[in-house]
Amino acid sequence: MLVGCALLSLAPLLSQPDRFMPEPLAAMPRWSDEPIQPILTPPVGDPKRVALGRDLFNDGRLSGSGKLPCAACHDVAANGSLPGRGSMSLDNPTVFNTGLSFRLGWQGRDRTLEDQALATLKTPAIAHGVPLERMIARLRNDAELMERARAVYGRDLDQAAVVDAIAAYERSLVTPGSRFDRWLTGDQSALSAQERRGYAQFKQLGCISCHQGRNVGGNLLQRHGIFRPLASPNPRVLRVPSLRNVEVTPPYFHDGSAPTLEIAVTRMAASQLDVDLGAQDAGDIAAFLRSLTGTYQGRPLRRTRQ
């Protein structure tokens, strides 16, 4: 009798199985089983703080010479990067999508954009022996800039406010809209047959073990030259770079020694996977990588290097 009552009490629930079932597979995003996820929309930030950070990013007064802004090495009007210069011997990573990485810089020393902004402003190649406080003092003579800073932070610019504003601006520098992202979200015409082959090869060979997630990399440190030499041996352990927008940021590797994607792909396969790629496979993978080029403020990123 008790068993019968129990079954009767469960009858309404058993008649509605969907109530307890997970979301149907058909309703899940197409990319849910893919190792790479799309960048869907830019992050929403405080517009005044982002605008202040943008202007500080472009202000040469935040350097020892008073003439070298962050934008001198990271041109957001093009690809977010320029080749290393002077004592900054490593090729400059792009500033786009850095907010999606858990470590920053080629050696992954900085964990946050704020940490990286502060370290960069103090690096000898930028500061030339001038204390950061003296650089910020130059800005305090700018009445309009101070008025904007007070509107955002309730005080004049100081070290904490400067790095916070620059980091807020850098977090806004994301590049949605790549053809690969359009393919991930259901546009089957967005990729060519060659690009789809390249993506399949990219996964099959194991490239995806280091280059995955929304940023297609940027989330682990790895030793290079495992099977064969790759590039300059120092530093030996590097942050795996994002491959988004890689089409427009040649030359490649931390020492800038690979002039084309095909050469970079071939050397990476040999060095990290002990695989000798043929020309067709290297070309297919390079074609896939070119599909990762996104847009900023509605415009496709473009190359600035020759």
**Residue 210, annotated as binding a ligand:** yes
Residue type at position 83? P
Q: What is the DSSP letter of 303?
A: -
- Element containing residue 222 per DSSP (H, E): strand 221-223
Rg, C-alpha atoms of the chain? 24
**Residue 254, annotated as binding a ligand:** no
**Residue keyed to tokens 């500033």:** 95
SS3 110: strand
Q: What is the dihedral of CA 305, 246, 255, 210, to 10 degrees?
A: 180
**Residue 73, annotated as binding a ligand:** yes
Dihedrals phi, psi of 24, to nearest 5 degrees: -55, 145
CB 173 within 8 A of CB 99: yes
Spatial distance between the Cα atoms of 164 and 162, rounded to a whole number of angstroms: 5
**Residue keyed to tokens 């490593």:** 90
Question: Binding site for heme c: what residues are annotated?
Answer: 70, 73-74, 207, 210-211, 268
Question: Binding site: what residues are annotated?
Answer: 70, 73-74, 207, 210-211, 268
